[in-house]
Amino acid sequence: MRVGVLTGGGDAPGLNAAIRAIARKALADGGEVVGIHNGWAGLVEELDMRMIDPHQVSGILAVGGTILGTSRVNPLSSEQSMQAVVANFEAAGLDALITLGGDDTLSVAAALADRGLAVVGVPKTVDNDLQVTEYCVGFDTSVSIVTEALDRLHTTAAAHHRVMVVEVMGRDTGWVALMGGLAGGADMIVIPEFAIQLDEIVQHLQSRRARGRDFSIVVVAEGATVGGLPSVDDQAGARDAFGHLLLSRRGVGPQLAEQIEAATGFESRVTVLGYTQRGGAPTAYDRIWATRVGAAAYDLIREGRFGVIPVKRGDGIAVATLAEVAAGQRRVPQDLYELARVFY
Ligand code: F6P
């Protein structure tokens, strides 16, 4: 059996562990593994594939990024592109394709499954926002990076008696901000699920100061809405191939820091953690989970089950359909948000 593997969308620590698991299982079965390069670009434009041998997946367990490369190329943008993917799938002689991605990549996989292609997904995104699964590869590493950053920012914020605004990833959901903020002892967390006014943030920081807290750490997700911030314009700005605003240019963190300083007079600084949250070695949890879910994806192919995706339910792995991935996003619930507020 010839199995293709592709990683699409933003990279996430743990992708290589999943690729390794798929390849090791397939090669042990006497199968062939084909790496499709740079996400859907490797099937849309020219067929860009290379055979994966045991040496290529050796030593990659602890390595971040993806040995296959990735992109945000979107075949759903035209019928011609979708047809090119189908034609290249056949030209590559694939019996099945495993696509590792978030909602965008997996929406393409679902559409291909609808066209009869033998496709299986693997959920990954540091945003951890797929409703279909309780966990996505990469999230734990991202939260660990945010936690370490907050620990470091605490000491410098305390030394200078500053307000430190920390912008973290999270387009539509605030999982990284909330969990990182909980672990790192944030004094306020601002996330897309719960819109807030600038005035509320200002009042909270003033009340902390009045209580003798002479520094504060505010964690804000890049996609959060803060009412009263003058120049965040969600209608303008560059977008990616899936139509998403490039949030790294939206600037909610820098603007929030500026406005806080203007309103309170407290010296304020901003740190945008940006792509550091997706870089470097995966945590033990991500290595283990990626290994489990990658192996499960291969097992589904061996069983002849396509148009599906292994997902986390409780401590185990369940199987959902790729169509279910589009059903919605998993959002931070009120009780977790309230828990964080206890420590403000
Ligand atoms: O893939 C998720 C994510 O990390 C988001 O949190 C972030 O907004 C986006 O990717 C950044 O995308 P890009 O790598 O295309 O700039």
Quote the pLDDT of residue 42: 98
CATH architecture of 140-279: 3-Layer(aba) Sandwich (3.40)
CB contact at 8 A, 142 and 126: yes
Domain boundaries, the chain: 2-138+282-326, 140-279
Q: Does residue 246 register a pLDDT over 90?
A: no
In whole angstroms, give the CA distance from residue 250 to residue 272. Answer: 11
- Closest-CA residue, ligand 1 atom 12, reads 10
One of 48, 127, 187, 286 is an active-site residue; which one? 127
Entry field: residues in the chain: 344
CATH topology of 2-138+282-326 equal to that of 140-279? yes
Which pLDDT does position 72 carry in this prediction?
A: 96
Residue 201 has pLDDT above 90, yes or no: yes
| Distance from Cα 220 to the centre of ligand 1, integer Å | 15
CA-to-CA dists, residue 172 to 26, 40, 135, angstroms = 36, 23, 16
Pair 121, 309: CB distance under 8 Å:
yes
Rounded to two decimals, the pTM is 0.96
Say how many C-beta atoms besides its own lie within 10 A of residue 137's C-beta.
33
Report how far ligand 1's centroid is from the alpha carbon of 222 (Å). Answer: 10
* 308-342 pLDDT tens trace: 999 999 999 999 999 999 888 999 999 999 999 99
The mean per-residue pLDDT over the stretch 4-16 comes to 98
- How many whole angstroms separate alpha carbon 187 and alpha carbon 172? 21
User: What are the Cα distances from residue 92, in Å, to 24, 31, 110?
Assistant: 20, 14, 20
The CATH code that applies to domain 2-138+282-326 is: 3.40.50.450
Edge-to-edge strand list for the sheet holding 163-168: 188-190, 216-221, 163-168, 268-272
- Collect all residues with Cβ–Cβ distance below 8 Å to 304 and sequence separation of at least 6: none
Is 299 an annotated catalytic residue? Answer: no
pLDDT at 165 > cutoff 90: yes
List pocket residues of ligand 1, CB cut-off 6 Å: 9-10, 72, 102, 125-127, 169-171, 222, 240, 246-248, 278
> What separation in Å is there between the alpha carbon of 195 and the centre of ligand 1?
21
Question: Alpha-carbon distance 128 to 177, whole Å?
Answer: 11
Rounded-to-integer distance, Cα 194 and Cα 171, Å: 13
Q: Is 55 helix (H, G, I), strand (E, B) or coil?
A: helix
| 10 C-alpha to ligand 1 centroid (Å) | 5
Residue with the smallest CA separation from ligand 1 atom 1 is 10
Testing ligand 1's pocket by substitution, the residue of 247, 249, 250 carrying the most ligand atoms inside 8 A of its CB is 247
Ligand 1, atom 3: closest residue by C-alpha? 10
Residue nearest to atom 11 of ligand 1 (CA): 10
